Amino acid sequence: MKVAIIQFGGTNCDLDVLNVLTDVMGVDAETVWYKQEKLTGFDGVIIPGGFSYGDYLRAGAIAARTPIMDSVKKLAAEGKPNLGICNGFQILTEAKLLEGALTTNKYPKFRCQWTKIRVETVNTPFTCRFRKGELLKMPIAHMEGNFFTDEETLSKLDQKDQVVFRYVDENGKVTDSSNPNGSLENIAGIVSTLRNILGLMPHPERASELILGSDGGLRVFESMADYITENF
């Protein structure tokens, strides 16, 4: 098993992800600079958080149009898992690998805080180690994390079980006060139609060791590793 962690100019969570995969889990992983167009030999891809290209135009817009994303799309078409975290989620929507868009927070400021999220489905390569309805503590750090889409797409995401995480309160309830950015239906993460591409705004790599305040995020990566082991 080998996982690629894509780096763009402005990426800043790549080494955090690398630490979780290699030091915490013992998985073979390496960072891949965006100018390396081929992803030969990799079984999965993670696009970490940061501010690729300074979020010029729109967050993730420039990174989504770099040649390496063609290779990311090719791996995704082969069924291999692709995880986009924060800026990675933004890049995946800009690349049309996930539906919807991430827009400016309802309160238009950078938000950096702990959140509670609820696992809405375990039917993905990234959540098979969870229980449906389980509550996780994960931090966010973004200014453009407000998930938006049209009513038809939103309905389809719900009907096809593509909403993976929602922001909730301490009791697991979806409330306005537990929504840190104004996302429709408190959506914190969604999966593609084929279910092998996940985008989420909270940072599981920053919640993968108890010393950081939570280790709930570790199972996102462990689930992904299980899926790769079983299928590739």
Cα–Cα distance, 61 to 170 (Å, whole number): 34
Q: 228, 6, 224: which is closest to 95 by C-alpha?
A: 6
The kind and range of the H/E element at 33 are: strand 29-33
Among 86, 94, 99, 222, the active-site one is 86
For residue 27, give the amino acid letter. Answer: V
Contact (CB, 8 A) for 72 and 6: yes
- Which listed residue (13, 99, 142, 203) is catalytic? 203
Calpha distance 57→149 (Å, rounded): 19
> Is 86 an annotated catalytic residue?
yes
Given the residues 99, 120, 144, 205, the one annotated as active site = 205
**Alpha-carbon distance 220 to 17, whole Å?**
12
The CA distance from 125 to 224, in Å, is 5
Residue 214 tokens read as: 């939570």
Any catalytic annotation for residue 230? no
Catalytic residues: 86, 203, 205
